[in-house]
Every structure is written in C-alpha cells, then in structure tokens.
Amino acid sequence: MYPPPPPAPHRDFISVTLSLGESYDNSKSRRRRSCWRKWKQLSRLQRNVILFLLAFLVLCAFLSYTHSSSQWKALGGSPTEGERLRVEVPRPKPANPPVLPAPQKADTNPEDVLTMLPQKPQKPVWRRPPRLQIRAPDIGSKDGTQGEALRNTRQEETPLRTVISWRGAVIEPEQGTEHPSKKAAGVPTPSLPAARTQKEPEFKEARTWVSTKLNFEKDVDVNLFESTIRILGGLLSTYHLSGDSLFLRKAEDFGNRLMPAFATPSKIPYSDVNIGTGVAHPPRWTSDSTVAEVTSIQLEFRELSRLTGNKKFQEAVENVTRHIHSLSGKKDGLVPMFINTHSGLFTHLGVFTLGARADSYYEYLLKQWIQGGKTETQLLEDYLVAIEGIKAHLLRRSEPGKLVFVGELAHGRFSAKMDHLVCFLPGTLALGVHHGLPTEHMELALALMETCYQMNHQMETGLSPEIAHFNTFSRPDLKDVIVKPADRHNLLRPETVESLFYLYRVTGDRKYQDWGWEILQSFNKYTRVRSGGYSSINNVQSTQKPEPRDKMESFFLGETLKYLYLLFSDDPDLLSLDHYVFNTEAHPLPIWSPV
Ligand code: DMJ
C-alpha cells in the first residue's frame, strides 16, 4: 500500500482589506469582486511575496502530513513495500532460538538425519534420563585469582581462513587458543577462567592432594601411553578448567620425566619409563612398541609445549607422527599393531584392526587436526585415507539383523571379530562430520552406533562383552552377536557411551540419550557395589552371576561416567566441541586458534 496523495494545494487567496469608505455590502459576489480588485491593486512585488509565503505554508503542511502518517503506520497500519523489508528482515529473535534439528524417531532413516547436519539439538520435550544444565564456568569472574586466565581470553583475534576443501566439504580453521607456533610472547594461560571450580570443596580437596601428595620423584616404571593420557592429560585439562598454575607445574614436571622414553635409536618411544631414575625400556619380551600407544600421546605433548613454550615435547611426538606417516607396511591407510623401537619399522605385518593396539591411532589423527585449528592437512589426509581403508577392508554386515560391524584382517583373512574398543569409532566419525568432514562418514557413524548399542542391548545384563563376534551366515539358529566364553567380561569401558555422547551432540536425536540411560541402568544393576563404587564383571550373559571382579578401572570415572554426564546434558556449550577436543581418556583440551 502506498501513502495517500498529498492534499490538493489550497487555492484561496489572502484577503487584504483596504477600507474605501463605501457602505457595507457583505454579499458573496461583492466580496469576490472586492478581493480580486484588491489583489490587482497590489504591486508585483507584494503579489510575489504573498505567493511565496503561500507556497511555503503548503509545503510545510504536506511534509508534516506525510511524517505523521508513516508514524501511524509503524504503530499499527500496514507497512509499505519498502517498510516491509526494513521491518521484517531483522526479525526479532526468540529468547532461546532453536539451533538443533527436531528429535528423530528411533526408526528414522539415517540418510534423513544427514540432511539436517550440522545442526544442533533442540531443547528437550521429554526423555527419561535426567536433564543436566550445568555450564562450564563463565568467563569474566571477578575473582582475583583469575587475572592470568582472563588475560588469555583477550588474545589477538585472527581472521578465519578456509584451509582445505575435500569432496565439497569446506573446512574452516576453528577459533581457539593460541597456536604453538605463535608462542614466544609468554606462556598462554587457560581459556576458561573457573572461579567457581576453584571454590568447589571437592576441587579444593583434590587440589590439596595434588599439591601435597602428588610427588613424581618415585623409582617407579610407568607406561608412557597410559600415564600420558591419564596423568599428563588430566593435569593439563585441570589447568585449563581451573586456571590454577599448580596443575601446569605438575604437568611440566611429569612431562619431563616421561621424555627419556623417546631416547631410542629410531626415536619411536619405548613403552615404559622410570619416572624417578629416567631409565626407559621396552617390555621384557620385545623391543616393539604398540602403534596406538606411540601415536596417542600427541595431543598432550603438543599442548604441554604450547603452554610451557618448550618445544621439545611437541618435537618428540611429531617426529613419531611424521615417521609413521611415511612408513611402508600400511594397507590403504590402515596401520599394523606394532612398531620396532630400534629399526623404526612396523612389525607383525599384515594384521589390521580398529581394536586394541591400533584404535587411538585413527582417533588422534582426527583430533590433532582439530586441536591444531584444522591447518595440519597431512593429519587430515591420513585420517581420510584410513576411513576409506576401513570401508574397503574391514566392514561387513551381520545376519540376520544386517548390523554393520568392523572386523579384522589377518594376512588377507577376514575375521568377524570386533572389540568393544572399536566403539570409539562412531563418535570419532561424528566428530569429524561436526568439523566439516564428508557426510558419508555420518552414515557409517550412525550404522556403527546402532551396532555398538546392540552389542550391549542383546546381552542379558544389557552390557557389552569385551569382544563380540558377528554371525555372517543366514542360519535361523544364529543371532547377530556371538560371545565366546573368554570374551564375556565387561571392564566398565567407555567407548559405547563416548560415541553416544558425540552422536547426540551432532544429531540431537534423543534415542542416543535413551540408549545411554539404558546402559547406565545396567551398570547400576549389575556392576554397582553396595559398599561403594563399581566393579568389572566376568559374565555379561548372566544376570544371576555376573561375577564382580572387585576392580574398577580409572577410566570408569574418567571417561564412562563423564561421557554419560555430558550425554544427558542438553547444553551444547558444556565443553563445546567447537572449543575443546577430548583426549583418549576424556580429558578436554583446548582447540588452538589458526596461525
Ligand atoms: C582408555 O584408556 C582409552 O580410551 C584408550 O584409548 C583405550 N581405551 C581405554 C578405555 O577402554
């Protein structure tokens, strides 16, 4: 609708009365004649001045009319075409705009889910698991202890750069904390000030213990990988979440004590090192190290270099990465399980698994690429090639349920055996998709997630065995998942719930929360110890005699319960995947900003 036309110009003239002493005649015709006569009697100048004043008054009247008319329309009238654009384009945002796709039904076609990516979950409507809305502490605490941490949040803003495009996936470097190669201007400090964390009584108690009791000056052998992912990773993560430099000092001390492990002829580290004497050595029976072990310490050592400014940690582990990148003996990106510390060559060639001894090699390719701000393309390429290798050589479907599983290859022979450890893979694939990798990866992630859930669900206790075998024959007497007596224990491992966490974060599909809730119920029912804690069990197929082992691995608290907690939270900013990358023991480390 357009504004009404302006009023027609006023055609009346101003009457200037000049009394000539005539008798009064107030008739209309006389008045008209008299006005016209008087107008004629005026000089040209007088007439022009009067006309100018009239025109000016008409213009003022017109402008004032159009202004009040548009104000009225803004209040209630219909907008003009131009006004519609101005009013409607920046629509007012709802207080909590939904950023996640609508929840999917359990039987949703995975390909439909793919079309929704990369959206994030909506607020919950209904679900059984508890709703957690606890956020990581806010930046900007007034607590004086946070000054150091706050400084770190005010780093120079680097413009984002697109660094790689792979199969149409445009991959942007993440904004994060400082890249190690920018290091020089002092030690970076935590990205997440955490005054609240520091005030928690549990934190205070733990801090006191670390400060007074955690002493690494001990004549004791530790496994390089296990202690890196647990102790070094845990200290670095705590430093970031608390802003307390005690944890960084401890991390640096511990990192220094691990360094002798790299003093080998090949620079491929030994499996063990004595943190008191500094003597490193391989296991007694071999000079080999495990491939997953030497390739899954990089996130932690790189971060230690970034924080301390001492490049030796990063150089040591990146030597290993480069060496393995160019080593022969791989099969389409798949790596053998062992590497010799003297020769630097793979050993036990021809055996390929995504399970024990190789698993986290694949996980850390992706996670280092993410940690480094998506700039280290060699890591990405190795990861992408490996996923293609998995698809080409290790994937099969079971019968009768057609579950997609990842088997093993030994000298060309396929084995339908899948460790529960392999269940990290759906989560890792989903994490990659979240960071821009091909959506085909998500199809595989969804299918494998279903399989891992079934590995739990089909057991009498609802808990997965350590190793599952899959039936690939069409025989009515056989189920999809077969468990051998030696493999039917459960060590409270995290991999299934770890992947459920990633799948939920990336798809927003509540069935993943429900599956996690089901598994938590099973842990409570069959592994919980009345007097406190949880225990590994010997038999996931017996509800009557699961046989607790009286042993709770530290990863149950460090990973399994943490991932369940995160799975049940509907806050995607709680340890956001855009700002943190979890090490293989579930300790969050910051993503660096691009160089
Ligand atoms: C954890 O210690 C790590 O995730 C490691 O990479 C292998 N798996 C165990 C827990 O199962």
Q: What is the DSSP string of 142-193?
A: --GGGHHHHHHHTPPPPPP---EEETTEEEPPPP-B--GGGTBSB----SS-
Task: Work out the mean pLDDT of the chain and round it to a whole number.
Answer: 79
Give the tens place of pLDDT for each residue, 261-291.
999 999 999 999 999 999 999 999 999 999 9
* HEC secondary structure over 415-445: ECEEEHHHHHHHHHHHHHHHCCCCCHHHHHH
Q: Is 226 assigned a catalytic role?
A: yes
* Pocket mutation for ligand 1, best pick of 419, 495, 555 (most atoms within 8 Å of C-beta): 555
Distance CA(193)–CA(239), nearest Å, equals: 10
Q: CB neighbours of 420 closer than 8 A, spacing ≥ 6?
A: 452, 455, 464, 465, 466, 467, 468, 490, 493, 495, 496
Q: Is 466 assigned a catalytic role?
A: yes
Q: In this structure, are residues 579 and 517 in contact, taking their beta carbons and an 8 Å threshold?
A: no
42 band by pLDDT with thresholds 50, 70 and 90: confident
Query: Which residue is listed with tokens 């989903």?
Result: 430
Give the distance, in angstroms, between the CA of residue 332 and the centroid of all CA atoms in the same chain.
28
Among residues 560, 290, 315, the alpha carbon closest in space to that of 420 is found at: 560
Distance CA(539)–CA(499), nearest Å, equals: 23
Residue nearest atom 1 in ligand 1 by C-alpha distance: 585
Interval between CA 584 and ligand 1 midpoint (Å): 6
Give the pLDDT score at 178. Answer: 58
What average pLDDT does range 315-333 have in this prediction?
A: 98
Among residues 397, 371, 374, 372, the alpha carbon closest in space to that of 384 is found at: 374
Interval between CA 6 and ligand 1 midpoint (Å): 79
What average pLDDT does range 393-412 have in this prediction?
A: 98
Q: Is 518 assigned a catalytic role?
A: no
Ligand 1 atom, smallest distance to 359 CA: 6
Single pTM value for the model: 0.73
Distance CA(53)–CA(13), nearest Å, equals: 11
Q: One-letter amino acid identity for 167?
A: R
Who lines ligand 1 at CB under 6 A?
A: 360, 421, 493-494, 555, 584-585
Q: In this structure, are residues 215 and 207 in contact, taking their beta carbons and an 8 Å threshold?
A: no
* Active-site entry in 143, 148, 226, 315: 226
The residue among 34 and 356 whose pLDDT is bigger is 356
Give the pLDDT score at 340. Answer: 98
Structure tokens at 534: 């949880």
60 band by pLDDT with thresholds 50, 70 and 90: low
Distance CA(179)–CA(18), nearest Å, equals: 92
Inter-residue long-range contacts of 31-38, CB under 8 Å, 24+ positions, other chains counted: none
Structure tokens at 23: 């008798």
Burial of 112 (0-12, 13-18, 19+ CB in 10 A): exposed
Distance CA(200)–CA(214), nearest Å, equals: 20
Structure tokens at 529: 């110890």
Q: Is the peptide bond before 590 cis (omega within 30 degrees of 0)?
A: no
Structure tokens at 370: 């993410």
Query: Which residue is listed with tokens 């029912």?
Result: 525
Report residue 469: phi and psi, to 5°: -110, 145
Distance CA(388)–CA(383), nearest Å, equals: 9
- In sequence order, which ranges of 344-422 are alpha helices (DSSP H)? 359-371, 377-393
3-state secondary structure of 528: strand
Residue nearest atom 6 in ligand 1 by C-alpha distance: 584
What average pLDDT does range 517-541 have in this prediction?
A: 98
* Active-site entry in 359, 376, 509, 570: 359
* Pocket mutation for ligand 1, best pick of 419, 428, 559 (most atoms within 8 Å of C-beta): 559
Structure tokens at 429: 């694939």
Ligand 1 atom, smallest distance to 553 CA: 10
Interval between CA 408 and ligand 1 midpoint (Å): 19
DSSP 487: G
Q: One-letter amino acid identity for 230?
A: R
Q: One-letter amino acid identity for 239?
A: Y
Interval between CA 230 and ligand 1 midpoint (Å): 10
**What percent of the chain has a predicted confidence (pLDDT) above 90?**
66
Residue 39 has pLDDT above 70, yes or no: no
Interval between CA 410 and ligand 1 midpoint (Å): 23
61 band by pLDDT with thresholds 50, 70 and 90: low
Interval between CA 585 and ligand 1 midpoint (Å): 6
Residue nearest atom 4 in ligand 1 by C-alpha distance: 584
Q: How many CB atoms lie within 10 A of CB 554?
A: 11
Q: Is 376 assigned a catalytic role?
A: no
Give the pLDDT score at 55. Answer: 75
* Pocket mutation for ligand 1, best pick of 224, 495, 581, 582 (most atoms within 8 Å of C-beta): 495
Give the tens place of pLDDT for each residue, 130-160.
555 434 333 233 332 332 332 332 233 333 3
Give the tens place of pLDDT for each residue, 444-490.
999 999 999 999 999 999 999 999 999 999 998 999 999 999 999 99
